[in-house]
Amino acid sequence: MARLLAAVGVLITTLAAALGALFTVAPDLKPCFGESSADFTGAPVFPGVRFHDHLVRSGGRREDLASEPNPLGAEIRFSYRTSGLRNWKLNITWSLVEIERDGTLGAVVPGQDRAIATIVTPTTCSESGGQDLFLPTPDRHKRYRAILELYRDSSLTDRLDLTETVIFRG
């Protein structure tokens, strides 16, 4: 019996070492444990931004933008974190909502409802990141709020998180 227990112990130790080595060489094979979640960790707004300036900050070259429209809008620099969602294609959408004179939410701006901002695919079990998003604002005299939503997939039916920005002027 002792010999059998010793053999089982050696087998378990060898298997654990082999899995450890495999996960070191190929970490994407290691399963994610625990619950899955995703949430926004911040979304500051910078109103009064020109589209060309946003593109230049994102790596564009000003000389390549001369023929592109240059509307005024707002830049949102959102951050997020994920856990247990490695290799999932997470859709981030945005909506632009008008703010009424009394400070309540108004209508969603036509054509700016649940527009896809980006799709992120975490490559590790726990990850954080962020991006800059340009939103055209149709009327610089109105006040707006942007709604960012993070979905588990492209069907936009399994929302993982939602955040609202501060109110800003177009």
- Do 132 and 74 sit in the same domain of this protein? yes
Give 43-62 pLDDT, tens digit per residue.
999 999 999 999 998 888 88
Asked whether the predicted pLDDT for residue 1 surpasses 90, the reply is no
Give 105-125 pLDDT, tens digit per residue.
999 999 999 999 999 999 999
- Do 20 and 51 sit in the same domain of this protein? no
Range of the domain at 56: 31-169
pLDDT-based confidence at 66, cuts 50/70/90?
confident
User: What is residue 56's DSSP assignment?
Assistant: H
pTM for this prediction: 0.80
- Burial classification of residue 56, based on how many CB atoms lie within 10 Å of its CB (0-12 exposed, 13-18 middle, 19 or more buried): middle
- Do 79 and 14 sit in the same domain of this protein? no
- Do 18 and 36 sit in the same domain of this protein? no
What are the angstrom distances between the C-alpha of 9 and each of 17, 18, 20, 56?
A: 12, 14, 16, 60
- Do 98 and 135 sit in the same domain of this protein? yes
What are the angstrom distances between the C-alpha of 62 and each of 66, 67, 71, 77?
A: 7, 10, 15, 21
Asked whether the predicted pLDDT for residue 26 surpasses 60, the reply is no
- Do 25 and 91 sit in the same domain of this protein? no
Number of domains in the chain: 2
Asked whether the predicted pLDDT for residue 28 surpasses 80, the reply is no
- Do 70 and 150 sit in the same domain of this protein? yes
